[in-house]
Structure 1
Amino acid sequence: MQLMNILIIEDEYPAAERLQRLLQELPESTEVVEVLDSVESAIKWFDQNPAPDLILSDIQLSDGLSFEIYENTLVKAPIVFTTSYDEYAIKAFKVKSIDYLLKPVKLSELSQAIQKYTQWKQEFSETDHIYKLEQLLDNLQHTGRQHKKRFLVKKGEQLLPLNEDEIAYFYTENELVFLYTYEGRKYVLDYTLEQLEQMLSPAKFFRINRQYILHLEAIEQIHNYFSSRYKLQIRPVPPGEIIVSKGKAKSFRMWLES
């Protein structure tokens, strides 16, 4: 039986360890070539290594969503997504030749995904796969789900509704997430940046690094920065420098042009 090379992209150590253990229990002969835990490390890995036979990829990583990897790199391998999303959200990922597994991953489901890969390999060419991956990314970007347009924030003893276009950016510091308005007001939210990234309209908001999600209209100036990054001037003036991370730079440019 031919050895199947598998790349795991997963930032939770227990989940990555579980996948490796389950792979060892399958009848197919598999080898994990690498375990990566971030968008940045995955992009670098694909630039320096040949494509694996199959990718097992988490969706939420330490520095963003794994879709950024496939938007910034030509990936010549089928992908099985692993996720904690509920059944409604996961419908966006149903594309031929690409499967998904809900966490915690079960041995029977992983086995079915491997069998689906085997069938894909027999029926589809590399060109077919790239086209279907593009379909997936397009589907993810244009899914019919409703994006969050208002936030209810606490102002003293009152609750204040804020429209999405009143929000300049979201920022995290000391494990707290703040919402900043264009008027310079700041409010604490109960959401994480990862949760906000899924709620907000991708046409209006972009996560530029681990700390910030910006509204398009908040950006006043863009400057080239070292290591292929960008330094931004935004309003209102933030607590620190606003730097677009290297792993986000290409998708940031695409977002600005879209």
Structure 2
Amino acid sequence: MKVLVIEDEYPAAERLSRMIQKTDERMQIVGVLESIEAAKRWFATNEAPDLIFSDIQLSDGLSFVIFDEIDIQSPIIFTTSYDEYAIKAFKVKSIDYLLKPIKQTELAAAIHKFRSLTGAAESRDYSLKIQSLLDALPSAGRKYKVRFLVKQQEQLMPIHENEIAYFFTANELVCMVCHDNQQFLVDYTMEELEKMLNPVHFFRLNRQVIAALPSVRKIHKYFNGKLKLDLSPVPAQEIIISRDKATRFKEWVEG
């Protein structure tokens, strides 16, 4: 089975290729393309693959352009760091939509879905299957919180997510710490923040801390499979990640 990968970040393309072949050794990677223009050239001289894995945001635009301009019948599994393109993705023959960092179990489920759909293609209407996927998508168009209004003395000031280093909780209060070490109380619980923050940018390290990726400075191996982190600004407490979360955290950092 021939598989084409469209991904403009080399490490991500290499990782995805390894994951695909680990999931199904019968899948042969016939090409790794980094841009819209490279894809157009490839399809002009090659037969369509059995399956396409495509990132959405490429170096020269959105990959939807490829599928709008070229009549490609191959099913597509989109991979992306953002979920706002979900509805559009399923309108261009996509059978699944994987958010980065991609997990091996999610990839395996997508490939299984591909095999199930293509195996039943003669007996079921493809458009109805795609609509069922759309109907089952719980977070299509989901918007994450990108700004917070915080109180500074008698004033309110907006803080963009890019300014935030991490959130921590102590004595039942939740505090936002910015990269410049300014600190503000916020009126959300850690559970609420975990749901409203973009998981591409933020990760819940433990019960006390949710951190943005730029705040992670060093990662140390700790005993019993745990990890110890150096954050910036330096927090008051040690930041330890449990063994159960360590793998997911490393996947998040790698993107």
State TM-score, norm by structure 1: 0.46
State TM-score, norm by structure 2: 0.46
